Chain A
Amino acid sequence: MQTTISKKPATLTLWRRWNWLLWIAIVAVIYTWAITGLHFTGLQESAASVSRSIVHGLVQPDWPYVYNGSGEDLVSLILQTLAIAFLGTIISSLISVPFAFWAARGGKEWLHVRSGSGKVVLTLIRTFPEIVLAIMFIKAVGPGSYAGVLAVSIHSIGMLGKLFSEAIENMDRGADEAITSAGGNSAQIFMLATLPTIMPEFISYTLYRFEIAVRSASILGMVGAGGIGTPMIFAIQTRNWPRVGIILLGIVLMVLLIDTLSEQLRKRLI
């Protein structure tokens, strides 16, 4: 071993020995660019006092807002947020299945034209900002949670489609082979072998995506697409910090609860 290493051309060793310097230079340039490019001016003098009132609001939240029966209170809007996330995720998981099979790499396909194009489409969907989608749907159906549902359904396809297609690529094809060899046609292979094999993973990813959708749904209201985000942004703009405090508390509890629940369910699935 020792001899083979020393026999390597000297230039390579030189490059190996010094290329970290090049990396350091590159990283240094990037950071210089990043730091000098930003202007940290315009810091408000009120920053400290605002922070203090936020903390004050957080420790003395607006408890009566939790429930007042108006349908505009914390509990109702949290439920509405969950409804947006749930409906959006379910719709999205259904639409994602065909997308996933489109983007999944098959056996000996030439240059993977089909799956390649599917992957590009999914990346485009994933990168298209969810907020912009929400605003577009507000134009179509008016402000409110319906627009939020549509935004979540479409945006989630990007990620769910990708996760589903990876699950398909990595799945155990054994059952498919068995049904093929028993003389099943392609519909039978799909329904009796592929789908039952892949279903638990699909459900698990859908649950995972639901966790993310709950977070999305709680901010979509900031642009008018329903849920808890709307009173949140309103409270921030009117400097109603006790209200901000209680809403924050509500969101944190909701997310924690959903994450824990979903994690338990996912553990049981796989």
Chain B
Amino acid sequence: MMTTQVPRRPWLQRWHVKPIGWTLVILILLVASSRMTGVDVGMFFNNLGQFTDLLVRMSQPAWDYLPVILHPLYETIQMAILGTTIGATFAVPFAVLAASNLVHNRWLRGIIRLMLDLVRTLPDLLLAAIFVAIFGIGSTAGVVTLAIFSFGMVSKLFYEVIETIDMGPLEALESVGANKLTIIWYAVLPQIMNQFVSYFLYTLEFNVRASTVLGYLGAGGIGVFLQRSLNEFNYSQTAVIILATLVVVMAIDGISNHLRRVLL
């Protein structure tokens, strides 16, 4: 027994090819990335003075600015609500078309999904910049941006929900010869309504956060004031805006989380 030899392992494992390979890849990427981005730890610490100065000024919020930003804050929430609603409404038919258990035409489904994937690649601020160019400065651009952004997000969440439904009631209706719309209305919708509302609220949370910065590019809401205060180096105003935004976002999150827990 004492002469037991440790069995030889395959050379891939013996020389740790995989872990070493991955470590090398990541190291190379890290070095390349830091060269490309000019990351320099020293520079950060050299300029630490300016950074702390900024933090100090932000730590003294100008509370008298609060009444000024109340209206834009409301506007931000209103934009989020409208944008999410419009986006979600448009998302429903597309979600149905993209669901593999409802649409058996593989081509149609593939095209719809590709389209949804493409919509989802666009970052919200980029959309905002384009729509500000089209619609001009104001909340219209914001609402349209949020609508498109939520359309991409909601449609994917929705079709994934639809694909998990119980097909029993559907087949029952199909067997008595009901048409597609009737089937969706009576057999699909009741099963997914709660999940839909829950995801709608989740997207709304997300959009409230997003809408606070859209204004930075002129798409309405509190972001307009954020940009103004930053441009004027008025950091005590910036601080008030950020704190107020935090309160609003957390309040919406709280309400929405509570509703979602009740729903599911």
Contact = CB atoms under 8 A, between A and B. Distances in A.
- Do A and B contact each other directly (Cβ–Cβ < 8 Å)? yes
Contacts of A145: 36-38
Interface in A107-141: 123-124, 127-132, 135-137, 139-141
A167 interface: no
Contact of B134 (A54, A148, A218): A54
A92 interface: no
B33 A39 contact: no
B91 interface: no
Nearest to B241: A132
Interface stretch (A40-48, A173-181, A184-192): A40-48
A216 B213 CA distance: 13
Given A38-B139, A251-B122, A222 B134 contact: no
30 contacts: A34-B82, A39-B139, A40-B138, A41-B138, A47-B135, A47-B136, A54-B130, A54-B133, A80-B36, A84-B37, A86-B29, A86-B30, A123-B253, A129-B209, A129-B245, A131-B125, A132-B230, A136-B54, A137-B51, A139-B51, A141-B47, A144-B37, A150-B44, A216-B123, A223-B216, A251-B122, A256-B117, A256-B118, A256-B121, A259-B121
B43 interface: yes
B250 A123 contact: yes
B215 to A, nearest CB: 11
A83 B51 contact: no
B193 interface: no
A146 interface: yes
Interface in B110-157: 117-118, 121-126, 129-130, 133-140, 143
Interface stretch (B5-13, B71-79, B162-170, B183-191): B71-79
A35 interface: yes
* Interface of B (DSSP majority class): helix
Contacts of A218: 123, 126
Given A38-B78, A127-B246, A43 B37 contact: no
A190 to B, nearest CB: 20
B135 A139 contact: no
A222 B125 contact: yes
The 6 closest A-B pairs by CB, nearest first: A83-B33, A140-B51, A255-B121, A145-B37, A44-B136, A219-B125
A51 B126 contact: no
Nearest to A258: B121
Given A43-B136, A43-B140, A136-B54, A232 B126 contact: yes
A215 interface: yes
Given A42-B138, A146-B39, A222-B217, A236 B246 contact: no
Most chain-A Cβ atoms within 10 A of its Cβ — which of B39, B47, B81, B143? Answer: B39
B48 interface: yes
B40 to A, nearest CB: 7
Residue with the greatest number of chain B CB neighbours at <10 A, chosen from A87, A140, A222, A229: A140
Nearest to B217: A222
A42 B48 CA distance: 43
A244 B250 contact: no
A239 B133 contact: yes
A80 B37 CA distance: 7
B59 interface: no
A135 B36 contact: no
B143 A127 contact: no
Contacts of A54: 130, 133-134
A146 B42 CA distance: 12
A42 B81 CA distance: 21
A232 B55 CA distance: 30
Contacts of A18: none
Given A218-B126, A233-B129, A51 B121 contact: no
